[in-house]
Amino acid sequence: MAAPMSWRRLVYSVYTPAITGVFTRISDRLLRARDRRGGSSVLLLAPLLAEADPAPHRVSRPTGSAGAQGTDGLCAHFRWMEEHVPAFRVPGTHIHVLTSPDQFYQAMKARIKTAKRRVVMASLYLGTGQLEQELVDCMEEALQRSQANAHAPDLKVSILLDYTRGSRGQINSRTMLLPLLQRFTSQMRVSLYHTPDLRGLLRLLVPQRFNETIGVQHIKVYLFDDSIIISGANLSDSYFTNRQDRYVLLENCREVADFFSDLVDAVGDVSLQLQPDDSVNMLEGMVHPYKGNRQDFSAAARQRIMEVVNTAHIRQRLTSRSEDSEDEGMSEGEDDTWVFPLVQMKPLGIQVDEQVTQRLLTDAGPDSTVFLTSGYFNLTRAYMRLVLGAGANYRILTASPEVNGFFGAKGVAGAIPAAYIHIARQFYNKVCRLGQQERVHLHEYHRSQWTFHAKGLWYYLQGQDRPCLTLIGSPNFGYRSVHRDLEAQIAIVTENEELQSQLQEEQETLYRRSTEVSDSTFEQPDRHVQLWVKLVTPLIKNFF
């Protein structure tokens, strides 16, 4: 055992994400023949370092005018989405934009306590502090009440987390939830998604601190009976106190809640199931994510997840046709808002969100304005080409170094804010070289003692002073979101003026705390980027 341990310590001491690609290729060459003969517990890994943005499946062009103004033609302008993903009509009055971490936290606690049928929560991880324990206590209280109340005995709690992040350290997400699982075994489910790309030599050698860089469950959905919060925030104390994100609450929207409940169940079905003794296993008949055949796992997972998407899509198209026979366009009554769920899981062959996002950026024409935000500004090459080549005005908001979530981190992670300075400078210089300064603007968010994690976009059509569309959820528009992780967000298209005003206020409030980037920004002493950081920035773009 001495020699293997020596090698492991050596790898730990010099590990950088670059080694990922090396061991990927070693596994590929050594094990390809074995896999062809019937599968292996240690299988191929797709190359992880080379960024490739293959053109997604082409989406047909809309029949409506790209220059639709006001709410006239709003349906026609975005109706193409309904052809490719489920479309849920809801009253705009049922959608509320939450604006602060505390508001997000209190909304979850209140709804967990009053839930009667289901609590479904999907997140990267559950933290281990006092605020997180209070959330767990709320679940315990609801489950206790369910057992004691003959009118609500069927409350089910389902939690979906990432395996690697949720298992990190001796006290972790799993240990936080084990008491509930042990006490309410028949009512409680904890699923831990494990990426199929972390396997073989890679899984053996990558340190625990870095294994989540290979790919994670990144969906953030918090569902209580028929109400749901879609966000980019995790279940951790900073997201409840001083980490700015975005959050939208859909109250009494049963069809939307049913869809995301089914989606989380589907991902849960292809995940490892936490047992009361802290062991994990797969559901019977399901391919193991890192011991089974990589292609077989992805095919089975894709089929299970797309079954949810396709079933909802067919149902909604039938409903839409029935409604359209009586009324063209969006309803003029209460149902003045459409919700389109967008899923991105490229390791499993699912890229719906990427297709829709590219289409939105492609169709953004002159005199339209897109406000786009990401806590980690790292556009894929495809998205960057569309932003720089489109006709719309762009206002892009990202974290200043001091509100970057990695600011002050130890080791390699401490260089991440500087790497994002370098990425921002490269983008800004490209905008200037192309003479796009009047059309594409870059902003930095500032807030003392806070960090910035907001993501999404607000879309203003020509002639409108309020946004009619927003994207909100877990994707960051970066390489990881598109190629590595499981992501989900929603596109909200609304004619409801009150909801449009809420979205406008949300956007303006975030941008109010920003400054616009200029040449002088990068001349400041704290914006100096060391050469070695510039050299490793391509790796950071792919893994962080």
Q: Which residues are catalytic?
A: 218, 220, 225
Contacts of 270 (CB under 8 A, 6+ apart): 193, 286, 289, 297, 300, 301, 304, 305
Distance of CA 276 to the CA centre of its chain: 29
Token readout for 403 is 């509100």
What is the SS3 assignment for 400-468?
CHHHCCCCCCCHHHHHHHHHHHHHHHHHHHHHHHCCCCCCEEEEEECCCCCEECCCEEEEECCCCCCCC
Strands 221-224 and 227-231: antiparallel
Residue 122 contacts residue 264 (beta carbons within 8 Å): yes
Q: How many CA atoms lie within 13 A of 19 on its CB side?
A: 18
Enclosing H/E stretch for 174: helix 173-183
Distance CA(157)–CA(261), nearest Å, equals: 11
Amino acid identity at 227? S
Q: Dihedrals φ, ψ of 356, to 5°?
A: -70, -40
Distances (CA, A) of 194 to 259, 351, 483: 22, 19, 15
